[in-house]
């Protein structure tokens, strides 16, 4: 994955009704990876906000000095802005975006529901546990040249950096540890969607997240023809439909 000149990596907003959805992109990614979800939910009458996380959507150097607290503050501000427009609030996020979604659920118990796409609380690349030391010697590491995406056209729907900044990966680790300890405190209704093709997160990450969540209402959906970025891959129509159905179910209760 790399930058695609045809895509605008900036934030976007889709005006709709009284139900507002904050959609948060993943690590080194950008809002276009949430565009298909956004357009489907917007077609159902919902208001959509898709912010751009600090350090993202520019150049890899922009990630220098950005802390996880900066990401958390940014999505909180975005949620507060959405709160000023909408009466019913939901948050959905992909990968790092899913971790930030959980962070928001911890600090905003009034959320009606959360959707976790490929939650990255546990990842496959164990080098992340070396980042506290490694970041002093290496600025970035190349991503795997092998894509786990099922649809060859899915890459054209993504804008992300071609490398992973090591110090930023350490920030992801710190945020993950913060959220993991507080999962039992979250009681917001949750929908978790993951895929068995995902090579970025640990194969048990979604299941463990589901088990540890304190939410009395929580659903786990397993896909088999999508990669990590399942919001743009072969099964994105099912992902979008399940997301909309979850939100409507919550609103009907």
Query: Considering only CA atoms, which of 138, 105, 137 is closest in space to residue 119?
Result: 105
Contact 37, 240 (CB under 8 A): yes
Within a domain: 5: no
Q: What is the residue-level pLDDT of the chain in tens, covering all 253 positions?
A: 455 668 999 999 999 999 999 999 999 999 999 999 999 999 999 999 999 999 999 999 999 999 999 999 999 999 999 999 999 999 999 999 999 999 999 999 999 999 999 999 999 999 999 999 999 999 999 998 889 999 999 999 999 999 999 999 999 999 999 999 999 999 999 999 999 999 999 999 999 999 999 999 999 999 999 999 999 999 999 999 999 999 999 999 8
Q: How distant is the alpha carbon of residue 14 from its chain centre?
A: 18
Work out how many domains the chain is built from and give that number.
Answer: 1
Identify the pLDDT of residue 144.
Answer: 86
Q: Is residue 2 part of a domain?
A: no
Q: Are 79 and 71 in contact (CB under 8 A)?
A: no
Residue 32, pLDDT score: 97
Q: Is residue 110 part of a domain?
A: yes
Report the pLDDT value the prediction gives residue 253, as an integer from 0 to 100. Answer: 86
* Residue recorded with tokens 């959509």: 48
Contact 1, 147 (CB under 8 A): yes
pLDDT value for 47: 98
Q: Report the pLDDT value the prediction gives residue 85, as an integer from 0 to 100.
A: 96
193, β-bridge pairs: 117, 221
Catalytic site residues? 95, 198, 228
- Per the structure block, which two tokens stand in for 59? 């150049």
- State how far the Cα of 170 lies from the Cα of 176, in Å rounded to an integer: 10
- Cα separation, 39 vs 35, whole angstroms: 6
* Residue 66 structure tokens: 């950005």
Contact 33, 102 (CB under 8 A): no
pLDDT of residue 1: 45
Angle at the Cα of 168 from the Cα atoms of 165 and 174, rounded to 5 degrees: 145
Residue 165 located in a structural domain: yes
Q: Per the domain annotation, does 7 fall within a domain?
A: no
Q: What distance in Å separates the CA atoms of residue 251 and residue 140, rounded to the nearest whole number?
A: 43
Residue ranges making up the domain that contains 65: 12-251
CATH number, domain with residue 209: 3.40.50.1820
Structural domain contains residue 189: yes
The torsion region of residue 87 among left (phi > 0), alpha (psi -120 to 50) and beta comes to: alpha
In a domain, 234, yes or no: yes
pLDDT reported for residue 5: 63
Task: Note whether 144 and 2 are within 8 A (CB).
Answer: no
Could you tell me if residue 1 is inside a domain?
A: no
């Amino acid at each position: 994955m790399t930058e695609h000149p045809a895509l605008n990596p900036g934030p976007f907003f889709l005006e709709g009704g009284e139900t507002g959805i904050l959609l948060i992109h993943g690590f080194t990614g950008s809002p276009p990876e949430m565009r298909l979800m956004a357009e489907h939910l917007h077609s159902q009458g919902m208001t959509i906000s898709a912010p751009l996380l600090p350090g993202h959507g520019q150049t890899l150097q922009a990630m220098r000095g950005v802390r996880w607290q900066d990401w958390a503050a940014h999505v909180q501000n975005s949620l507060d802005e959405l709160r000023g427009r909408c009466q019913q609030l939901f948050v959905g996020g992909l990968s790092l975006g899913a971790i930030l979604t959980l962070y928001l659920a911890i600090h905003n118990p009034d959320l009606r529901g959360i959707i976790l796409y490929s939650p990255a609380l546990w990842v496959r690349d164990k080098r992340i546990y070396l980042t506290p030391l490694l970041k002093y010697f290496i600025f970035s590491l190349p991503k795997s040249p092998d894509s786990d995406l099922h649809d060859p056209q899915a890459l054209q729907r993504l804008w992300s950096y071609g490398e992973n900044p090591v110090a930023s990966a350490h920030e992801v680790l710190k945020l993950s540890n913060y959220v993991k300890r507080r999962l039992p405190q979250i009681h917001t209704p949750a929908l978790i969607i993951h895929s068995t093709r995902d090579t970025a997160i640990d194969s048990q990450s979604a299941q463990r997240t589901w088990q540890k969540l304190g939410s009395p209402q929580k659903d786990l959906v397993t896909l088999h023809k999508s990669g990590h970025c399942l919001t743009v891959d072969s099964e994105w129509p099912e992902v979008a439909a399940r997301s909309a159905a979850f939100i409507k179910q919550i609103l009907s209760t």
